[in-house]
Every structure is written in structure tokens, then in C-alpha cells.
Copies of this chain bind each other. A is one copy, B any other.
Amino acid sequence: MKAEPLMSEEEAKKAAGKLNYRHGGLLVVVVQEESTGQVLMTAFANREAVEKTLSTGLMHYWSTSRKRLWLKGETSGNFQLVKEVLVDCDGDSLLAKVEQIGVACHLGEKTCFHRNIKELIKDGK
């Protein structure tokens, strides 16, 4: 497994500084598997998480539950190697195309989006 930085630390600071962290100091990150196009998860990132993502080539987020910077895979080994990052039209959302090591979901599924919403209306639930 070889992570490839997208840019230098200085460039990462510059790029991250141009984004809009308007959701309580955070922006939205969508993660898509580059090889298949499958959407794996969404999460939030603050400026530091964006800088680290770009300068290391490994997806970093801001954990809203643990209130700290989170390197995806630091505990599970399920790292996400960054291949490409795109910015949306108003700069407050990122689309990261990655190579997923292992699976994205802590429940063991490949993607966090593994339930059809229709399952929520089944009888007895």
C-alpha cells in the first residue's frame, strides 16, 4: 500500500485555505471508489483534515462524534488512498476518488450506504 501525496504541505495549505468551511467550520466530503464509481461514505472535514488529506494522500476527516482529527484506517487498517479530489461549485464540498483498503464501513460492509430506504418501512419495524 503506497499513499501518494497530491501536493506539498505548502500547496495543501494554500488549497485548503480557499475552501468554504461554512457548516460549523466544516465542509462535506463524499468518497467514491475510483475503480467502480461506488459511493462509499460521506463525512466532514475541517481545514486541517483537508490539508493532511492533500499532503499525505490518505483520507483524513473531522470526527463529529469524537471531536478530533481522524485518519480513516488508523484503527481499522481500512485506509483510503487518495487518487483525485474535486471541489464543488461553491467550494464547500469535496468529492474524493479513492482506492479503499479493506472496507469503508465499520459494520464490515464495503460501503456505508448498504441499506435501501424502503427497508425502513417494512412491517414490524
Contacts and interface: CB of A to CB of B under 8 A. Distances in A.
This chain's copy number in the assembly = 2
A94 interface: yes
A117 to B, nearest CB: 4
Interface of A, helix, strand, loop or mixed by DSSP: mixed
A117 B87 contact: yes
Interface in A70-125: 84-89, 93-95, 105-107, 109, 112-121
A106 to B, nearest CB: 7
A115 B93 contact: no
Interface in A1-59: 6-7, 11, 14-15, 18-19, 23, 28, 30, 32, 36-39, 41-42, 54
Question: 8 smallest A-B Cβ distances: which pairs?
Answer: A37-B37, A86-B113, A88-B112, A95-B113, A85-B117, A15-B120, A11-B121, A42-B93
